[in-house]
Structure 1
């Protein structure tokens, strides 16, 4: 199906001519001039933000007039038709589709599906964004582009999200993107912005004098300037809307402030003064935002109105008739629609539905039918439901939710209405519209639901509560309360849909894990027991989700080491699926449980495989929605292996993507990296902010991580008293996944402050955890801890054992800490030569990792032995940036620019630009030389 877009390419508001200098807009015009000329050195983005009528459209016209030699792409959002997925994006890209074959096949396929030009798997919306980025770059290689997006707040949600992403990923392409927006969408927040405000009093007076045919009393003029607040549209409308008597008396909108509503009301009065047939044709034009003149003519004929009847509206400067219909200002469109009564609107929508091709544009036809309905209409509701399915297949979750919501309203059959309300609520939740989802669930609860449907409603309500608690929404319950609601929902599903019940038990378990120490006492155990009971009702768990639920509940209820068999099987199953799947990329459904399971196994090979496969699948499939979580998890593995620069690069990329996609950056591994790097000025602020956030949301796990990372930081800084207190705070509650790590921090800190009792009490708890894993990592950590507490006769043997095990496991930071502790012990034994060997190696390894605090601790120990340590040289200023290093590594591996761009979600042109800088910094001239070049951090 080809989607016919609802936006106009040629809608150029004509109230202010761009051939004349704009009064009072010198600053804005200079900014736009600089934007246009700046395209020669790289992409330019600007958001014009201001209220309706303030002159944003005129400024867009000015920018277009200055863009000599540019290809201009223009789209205008329309409020009445903002629910068709990718419609605005398709309109913007329509003139560029001859470059479609230049795109990599996954991007081309995603764009075709999104635009209804092809059939395929539901595309990741950010893969569509990457495709648009590539399309713009391909077109800009021929001719510079200016993309003008007016009334962006009325674009369909997925289009504006995608354009916001594209605007953030443009870099060196000769492309300028200018948005005009009122007070939203928030997805554009953070882009370069220029507020557009009313004119100054002097400029407003000049503009008013310029549009008045006759003179005007200075006091009346000043009153009008004050009332209009310098809004150009309000001033320009004065001659049309204010009588000579009102001007003479100065009573025009006396005592009122000009507003969008007031301006629109003036337009309504002007339209209602036109002949009835003219008014009805204006309703047709306003209700059909495609601006399709052929559709307009067919609809006018169906209404038995001659097209000549539009003449008075054209003469009044309200609308222009051409190949595409367009109103002279967006507010005139809404005024034309408002000027009609409900009956007239329904008649017009019915005529538009009849005139719309059901094969070419069934979705817009369904929407017109819905607006024409006099009341519940099951046939129209069925059409809307079908439209929802088509929208979902294109990746338009928000559009699907809107169609289902309207279908619910028009459904007469009570049972079917309840079913559709549940489906609509689920879609609204997936589209991140929780309030609308709650409203639909309230509608569903009024219907005669089955027991299963009532259980589904309870689950959705609990999921919404959990979403709100994790996001820190005002009025949302604490995380522990949300976990209790999920537990109740899971119990309600028992015996009705047992597979869904077990998934909900796992959701409740993960929520309880997030709640941690701030949840009700015994909450985690209660959830785990309920989950275990659910598992016991099946012969043997087969699904990865069931294996994970079985393993996690067993670990929680039976203690350290328990449940390992099913945990290993669950992770192996997910890994196998990740390696074998070729369809749409799916994220881990329960990341905290899956990651904690891997950590509880102390198996570095499992961690490496999971992290590698997650990132590979996300990059290969272009799944930008899941890529940040995969990158963050992979970054965490790099921290464990001591590859801090790689971890930092991935975290930086993840943050850039979450900013571009409007999501909240994930904190956990950022805290771990900051602690290991050991720069107090950076780490302490980050850790304290995370702890405060956890307390506000009732997310005890975040408080636990904050305490653990504080212990790592202070042990590195040799501030052992603070490290011990932080570790003790962390270990007051067993947060699965990192509790065992913090026990080691506690033991080391306690040994250094002479609190042997605390260290010895913690050792058996450590032995029960990594000590029962049977892995080199787990056994090595236990050996290192035992060495700290061992007698002088046993310590050396244990230190050597720890080093051998940890180095075999490739857990660099823990191995190097064991070496540091060994060197410290050797120095205390007065074995200076041996101590220098171990401490020197520890210092070099920590320095190479970027673990500054631990490196300084090793340096001080070396100094005590009499060893002189050469200070590390300062950076030369020619080091590769994180993105340059990523691109250089991928190029060295033989990837093309297009392939690298697809992996990093940038254009091939941007890759080429970065590679040129890489060559200069490394002193090379070809990609072949990259294979032998030293790439820092990689």
Structure 2
């Protein structure tokens, strides 16, 4: 093992990762530093240290492979692909598809590939821990970088260490943000001097040493290369040093001079190796047959330490590869790529063949461009959107026909956006937008711009761009324009109250009205969705109601598995909440979840989990709602972000007022930063729950005062708001809200709304006999609703009314029913309010024993695992829901058992109610 100078702290940090892995825990680290700072040397040292105990997989990324999607992932997972059959079918199929081992009709979602990669690494065969090394990570292709970052974030109790080395300040590092980082600075003067002495074979004068150290700034690679460049006389001080000392950008020139000093056939071999993204020796030798070199040409290159050829072809440093490639004449590069294209064709690698043909082309060539376009389609179907974008961009560069060139650039931009490369996608789109002779093309440019905005987390900008696209496309393609408007509708829903003028749901509605469906055109489900939402915003809800119901029915009957069905389902979920239809919301939300899961589509899955969690919340199934919100939060964490809305809503219903207040601040900050205004509405709803459960009626009313218009998605809280208005003396407001609820229940006569109406009428009537009849009617309807919460609230308010009517015995009966329902569902705030009423009615609730809350000692992740385990989920099911490995779930569960002093899942289940409040 070569000695490292001045890197004791870095070695200790990396050694601690190995120690953790020996104990069964995972670790991740990103080494960041300037070119030549010694990152690769640290990886080499770590690899040598772990060689006897660890299984090691390593990938050195290179610039030429940055456009080959999943290339790095394939290299790293190749040793474990034999375990793919052990993965769940959708995961195994996704991996096989992106690695070209299996074909499907649609590209796999990157998220599903990421989950599969996590499962594969966690379930690999072998007792030894795994060390995964990635050098020059800034050159990782977009897909591999996203997947590897996902895996790094979700491994925990697995003996896997992942270490990335990346150039500081380089592009392409967004996915690694948030992972543990370690800066690798230049060496301090003493260590730099020691390193310099170690690489100088003869004498080294102290003043020369100090001059070189100062000139190189202690950069290890610059030190080594300066020593290689200087003569013995210069190093000993017998001859003057050059001015300046060769370093920095001169490194590439040094490498180029070294390459140019090689024999002609060795130079050709070096250029071929630099041009070949596969780094496969067999490809190199096959190309050599046509280019005139064989294995003997490699001798000088290996003796000069420019590259090594073993299982793969590896340059000593990535700068050597860059210098060799870009330092060669264009004609030589074209000749080498032509030879590599022939090799790829012979190996059946038709897409790689097209890539090399493009690199060999020096003039526009429609034949090559067409081949590239076909290759881009095949590449896209494997889920390699980065590669597809690169191929289309190159096809465009070889296209002389302006409309065709613009189309290819636009498609390249769209593929880049799907790949997650917002900067590259924007650059390609700007180039495509320069062609403005075709109105359809102009509209599609705006649609692509919207997708880039969505990628960068700007839903309002996305909505505005989609509306612009629809208006441009309307006169030339009405069908496409209206389909885009459905997409705009969903984005506007996300923006909610934060949407600026011109990007609101009203703006969408006005645009829909300006682009009516032609009389002869068949209406689609999307059209029904659009017309319903438009009616909500441009007409009264009373008039829009039938259209909303028809749209929901159309979506429910839709059997299509097309991508637009996800948009339809998401929009219909919103429509169900506008109508207060909890039954339709439940059906639509779970259909959206099932379809998103089937497709492995991460963004629709996030939407689905939000809707399903809300559906369970308003039913009072708090444990199930919390499970879904946990899964939503875990999904966000896999993307390097956090979301607090679910935790806020659960805290409010659990009666944890201080926690809810703190979480509300986090929700408001996140909503403002991301433009997700819908979160602010539900933030106010959470406040209303907290205040109403504490009998702070005026505050509860104020929380919802601005959220009960026709377009409100909080119709399920109308009865609560009427209660708050009545109890705070706002009688006129209560009556107006009652009329609104009455009209809504007439349009949507589901048991939940009918019961809400009866309860609200009971609250507002002065007739004692009528009030009792209405309370009993509310209880009857609410016995037929999904979940216990509405029934519990009706029993509670009836009991409170009975107590005020001095009918204490009957009051105690109703309040006891309400208390037991609230207590069973974990709604501690409302349970406490009911408990106080019971006590006032002469039936105090016996204390539970005052045991401390066990979950105070659990971490958030442990609490999530505990809740699922207490609910009966297996470790594998928990892992799937929280996007963890089974080993990690087992680790957390063992800690839960120890902290809560339980010995079995049955005992854990006995604590389920208290765990649910964590």
Q: Secondary structure at the match of 2:378?
A: helix
What residue in structure 2 maps to residue 476 of structure 1?
A: none
Partner of 1:7 in structure 2? none
**Aligned counterparts of 1:931 and 1:521: Cα–Cα separation in 2:** 53
The answer as to whether partners of 1:820 and 1:839 remain within 8 angstroms in 2 is yes
Could you give the per-residue CA deviations for residues 798-830 of structure 1, whole angstroms, max 9, x where no partner exists?
Answer: 233223223321353343333333333333333
* 1:722 corresponds to: 699
C-alpha deviations, 1:690-745, integer Å up to 9, x for none? Answer: 445555666654444433333333223333333333222334x654322x345445
Q: Is the 8 A contact 1:417 1:447 kept in 2?
A: no
What is the distance in 2 between the residues matched to 1:108 and 1:375? 42
Contact 2:726-2:763 at 8 Å conserved across structures: yes
- Is the Cα contact below 8 Å between 1:86 and 1:156 reproduced in 2? yes
Aligned residue in 2 for 1:780:
755
Residue 15 of structure 1 corresponds to which residue in structure 2? Answer: none
SS at match of 2:797: helix
Q: Give the C-alpha shift of residue 585 in structure 1.
A: 8.2
CA distance in 2, matches of 1:166, 1:586: 30
Structure 1 residue 805 corresponds to structure 2 residue 781: yes
C-alpha distance in 2 between matches for 1:160 and 1:774:
51
Pairing 1:135–2:141 present: no
1:104 aligns to what? 88
Aligned equivalent of 1:362: 350
Question: Using a 3 Å threshold, how does the CA distance of structure 1 residues 934 and 141 change in structure 2: closer, same or farther?
Answer: farther
1:61 corresponds to 2:49: no
1:47 aligns with 29
- In structure 2, the partner of 1:114 is 98
Q: Deviations over 1:299-345 (max 9, x none)?
A: 33433346544444323222123453211122322232233243433
Which digits, 9 at most, give the CA deviation of each residue in 1:867-901, with x for residues without a partner? 43344433346998433443565657xxxx76775
Number of matched residues? 899
Contact (CA 8 Å) 1:888, 1:918: kept in 2 or not?
no
In structure 2, distance between residues paired with 1:342 and 1:545: 52
* Alpha-carbon offset, residue 389 of structure 1: 0.9
Is residue 549 from structure 1 mapped to residue 530 from structure 2 by the alignment?
yes
User: Does residue 306 of structure 2 align to residue 318 of structure 1?
Assistant: yes
Maintained 8 Å contact 1:704/1:730: yes
Distance 1:20 1:229 in 2: 22
CA–CA distance in 1 between the matches of 2:407 and 2:589?
A: 39
How far apart, in 1, do the equivalents of 2:310 and 2:18 lie? 29
Corresponding residue SS for 2:541: coil
User: Relative to structure 1, is the Cα distance of residues 503 and 258 closer, same or farther in structure 2, using a 3 angstrom cutoff?
Assistant: same
Alignment equivalent of 1:148, drawn from 117, 133, 144: 133
Secondary structure of the equivalent of 2:345?
Answer: coil
1:137-185 CA distances to partner (integer Å, 9 max, x unpaired)?
3433454332222222212211221222223333444333222223452
Q: Structure 2 matches for 1:577-726, cutoff 5 A?
A: 588-589=566-567, 593-619=571-597, 622-624=600-602, 626-662=604-640, 664-665=641-642, 669-692=646-669, 694=671, 700-726=677-703
Tell me, what secondary structure is at the counterpart of 2:133?
A: strand
Q: Distance in 2 between matches of 1:686 and 1:210?
A: 57
In structure 1, distance between residues paired with 2:242 and 2:606 = 53
Give the TM-score, by structure 2 length. 0.88
1:455 lines up with 2:455 in the alignment: no
Distance 1:124 1:521 in 2: 32
Structure 1 residue 489 and structure 2 residue 464: aligned?
no
For residues 24 and 145 of structure 1, what CA distance do their matches in structure 2 show? 27
> Are residues 1:859 and 2:839 paired?
no
Conserved? CA contact 2:633–2:644, under 8 Å = no
Using the alignment, how far apart are the partners of 2:521 and 2:645 within structure 1?
A: 34
Please give the residue correspondences for 1:463-474 in structure 2 after superposition, counting only pairs within 5 Å.
Answer: 463-465=451-453, 470=458
1:831 paired residue number: 807
- After the TM superposition, which of the residue ranges 401-410 and 31-40 deviates more from structure 2? 31-40
Q: Answer whether contact 1:48 1:196 (CA < 8 A) is retained.
A: no
Of 747, 750, 757, which residue of structure 1 is paired with 2:722? 747
Segment of structure 1 superposing worse, 500-509 or 389-398: 500-509
In structure 1, the residue corresponding to 2:132 is in which secondary structure? strand
Matched residue SS, 2:164: strand
- Note if 1:420 corresponds to 2:408: yes
- Given that 2:478 and 2:517 are in contact with CA atoms closer than 8 Å, whether structure 1 keeps it comes out as no
Q: Please give the secondary structure, in 2, of the residue aligned with 1:213.
A: coil
Counterparts of 1:25-104 in structure 2 under 5 Å?
25-51=7-33, 52-67=35-50, 68-104=52-88
1:54, 1:232 within 8 Å by CA — same for their partners in 2?
Answer: yes
C-alpha distance in 1, partners of 2:733/2:23?
Answer: 62
The aligned counterpart of 2:764 is: 789
Q: Which runs of 5+ in 2 are unaligned?
A: none
Shift of 1:110: 2.2
**Is 1:849 matched up with 2:830?**
no
Equivalent residue for 2:111?
A: 126
Distance change (3 Å), C-alpha of 1:590 and 1:209 = farther
Q: CA deviation at 1:240?
A: 0.7
1:520 aligns with 2:501: yes
Q: Does 1:174 align with 2:150?
A: no
8 A Cα contact 1:720 1:749, kept in partner: yes
Q: Is the 8 A contact 2:494 2:677 kept in 1?
A: yes
Distance 1:299 1:768, change over 3 A: same
Whether the 8 Å contact between 1:199 and 1:230 is mirrored in structure 2 is: yes
Q: How does 1:429-444 map to 2 (within 5 A)?
A: 429-444=417-432
Contact 1:140-1:174 within 8 A present in 2 as well? no
- Superimposed CA distance per residue, residues 188-240 of structure 1 (whole angstroms, 9 cap, x where no aligned partner): 23333333333333322222222233444434433433443433222222311
- Structure-2 change in CA distance of 1:228 and 1:751 (3 Å): farther
Contact 1:224/1:252, CA 8 A, preserved across alignment:
no
Q: Mapping of 1:222-261 within 5 angstroms?
A: 222-243=210-231, 248=237, 259=248, 261=249
How big is the shift at 1:394? 0.8
Aligned mates of 2:345, 2:885 — CA distance in 1: 37
Distance 1:299 1:186 in 2: 36
1:787–1:229 Cα change, 3 Å: farther
The structural deviation recorded for 1:374 is 1.0
3-state SS of 2:705 partner: helix
Q: Return the offset for 1:417.
A: 1.0
Superposition deviation, residue 464 in structure 1: 4.2
| Structure 1 residues 677 and 401: CA distance shift in structure 2, 3 A | farther
Per the TM alignment, residue 776 of structure 1 is displaced from its structure 2 partner at its CA by 1.1
Contact 1:694-1:702 within 8 A present in 2 as well: yes
Q: Secondary structure at the match of 1:53?
A: coil
Which secondary structure does the structure 1 equivalent of 2:707 belong to? helix
Contact 2:416 2:422 in 1 (8 A): yes
* Distance in structure 2 (CA, Å) of the matches to 1:307 and 1:141: 36
Q: Distance in 1 between matches of 2:627 and 2:278?
A: 44
Kindly tell me: are residues 805 and 195 of structure 1, through their superposed partners in 2, closer, same or farther at Cα, counting changes over 3 Å?
Answer: farther
Distance 1:315 1:737, change over 3 A: same
Q: Distance in 1 between matches of 2:718 and 2:829?
A: 20
Quickly say closer, same or farther: Cα 1:567–1:833, change in 2 above 3 A: same
Q: Distance in 1 between matches of 2:910 and 2:652?
A: 31
Shift in Å, 1:429: 2.7
Deviations 1:109-153 (A, max 9, x none): 222221111222422323223333333334334543322222222
Q: Which residue of 2 aligns with 1:815?
A: 791
**Cα offset for 1:639?**
1.0
Residues 177 and 695 (structure 1 numbering): CA distance in 2 closer, same or farther, change over 3 Å?
A: closer
* Residue deviations 1:55-81 (CA, integer Å, cap 9, x gap): 222222222223324332221111122
2:369–2:396: 8 Å Cα contact kept in structure 1? yes
Contact 1:535–1:541 under 8 Å retained in 2: no
